[in-house]
Amino acid sequence: MTGPLAGLLVIDLSRALAGPQAAMMLGDLGARVIKVESPAGDDTRSWGPPFVRADDGTVESTYFLSCNRNKESITLDLKRDEDAAVLARLVERADVLLENYRPGTLRRLGFGSDRLMRLNPRLVVLSISGFGHDGPEADRAGYDQIAQGEAGLMSLTGADPDHPQRVGVPIGDLLAGMNGAFGVLAALRERDRTGRGQVVRTSLLASVVAAHAFQGTRWTVAGEVGRAQGNHHPSIAPYGLFRCAGGRVQIACGNDAMWGRLRAAFSIEADDAPFATNSDRVANRDSLTDLLEIVFAQYETSDLLERLAEAGIPAGRVRGLDEVYDWEQTRSQKLLLDVEHRSLGKITLPGSALRTFSVDAAGAETETTRVDADPPPVLDADGDAVRAWLAEPLPGGGRAW
């Protein structure tokens, strides 16, 4: 195993997406991740279509495949004493445990944070919930679209306030997983200093609210409630999606100098008064959009993008996912991983967002990114091997920690 987290053991009790995303990120960085599933398997094993059928008749969910690479799988029924004992032995050897049960569920199964810390005082526990682990609505189940609505994100997304829209990926889950992984790394660093583990908590609600960015302070400081307004930025103009002869392009004029270059590049003879400053352009966005789309109507998409690039205006097209994965820039960033799946054979997965490099005294870089990705496991693929490993005595005797 390679990567900066090589040597760490992560026990992943989570299912669906937020917890599995966090565990996968730790696995991408080299940690050994053992995914503990109920005998029925992670819920996402049945989420589809689409499913992929192997030659042997095995059916795999593409949803499960998206968030469970670099993991082993063991099935445990934690209501059975013998399986609970297996988990206890795993906890004794682990560095990190992840769970996203409803608050209180893990305690009812006999693994409250007090017992976990008795089993292993160095353990870092990540708990992810839907709406927080305390407060008047802590008991609510957490599903991404519900959290997107409750946390205000859907009110900011869509064509207008009458048509709230969820983000096209489960962004609340993904953000919670990313925040959780970040919190785990911070807790491991704290453990380096104190020798003790701790509990890290986050939620879908917290992760979406924390991502409000300028829309949050727009309300908390300026007293303005942000509303959905389609594909144009509420505070910058021109910044958004514009029609042209061959389709649409996106441009981002982040300052007055860029606006000046845009005007010069396309010989826009506009009256300065309505568009002199960014505030003016935001206030007159509709007329500015009309003006630019009249100009852009003379250009096919590729020609327009080339001209914008020559003028130094950030711009881009809107790609379908098939185009994204065929794009050479995507491939150059190692964002596609080829793995050999136990039942499906060779498959390609989206890769990690992180790359790591060592740099010598002369400035030469050597990439150290983990490249030996393991495929998402079939259910209980590693159960026997994990049990056999747990039966082996620890080097030097005593406890793992």
Residue 304, in any domain of the structure: yes
Task: Specify the number of domains making up the chain.
Answer: 2
Bridge-based pairing of strands 199-203 and 124-129 is: parallel
Confirm if 18 and 178 have CB atoms less than 8 A apart. no
CATH code, domain with 263: 3.30.1540.10
Alpha helices by DSSP H, 55-101: 62-65, 81-93
DSSP assignment of 105-153 equals HHHHTT--HHHHHHH-TT-EEEEEESS-SSSTTTTS---HHHHHHHTTH
Q: Tokens in use for 283?
A: 């206030």
pLDDT in tens, 164-173: 999 999 999 9
**Quick one: 340 and 269 in the same domain?**
no
Percentage of the chain exceeding pLDDT 90: 91
Name residues whose C-beta falls within 8 Å of residue 51's C-beta, 6 or more positions apart in sequence. Answer: 59, 60, 61, 62
The whole-number pLDDT of residue 1 equals 64
- Residue type for 287, please? S
In a domain, 324, yes or no: no
- Determine, yes or no, domain membership for 115: yes
Element (H, E) at 306: helix 301-310
Over residues 221-230, the pLDDT tens digits come to: 999 999 999 9
Q: Are residues 37 and 143 in the same domain?
A: yes
The CATH number given to whatever domain includes residue 104 is 3.40.50.10540
The rounded mean pLDDT for the chain is 95
Q: How far apart are CA 104 and CA 94, in angstroms?
A: 21
40 with 186, same domain: the answer is yes
Whether 126 and 22 have beta carbons less than 8 Å apart is answered as yes
Task: Tell me which residues are annotated as active site.
Answer: 173
Judged against a pLDDT cut of 90, whether residue 372 lies above it is answered with no
Query: Using an 8 Å Cβ cutoff, are 166 and 148 in contact?
Result: yes
Residues 20 and 150 reside in one and the same domain = yes
Contacts of 228 (CB under 8 A, 6+ apart): 155, 156, 157, 158, 159, 160, 161, 163, 164, 165
User: Residue 366 is part of which domain span?
Assistant: 9-211+336-391
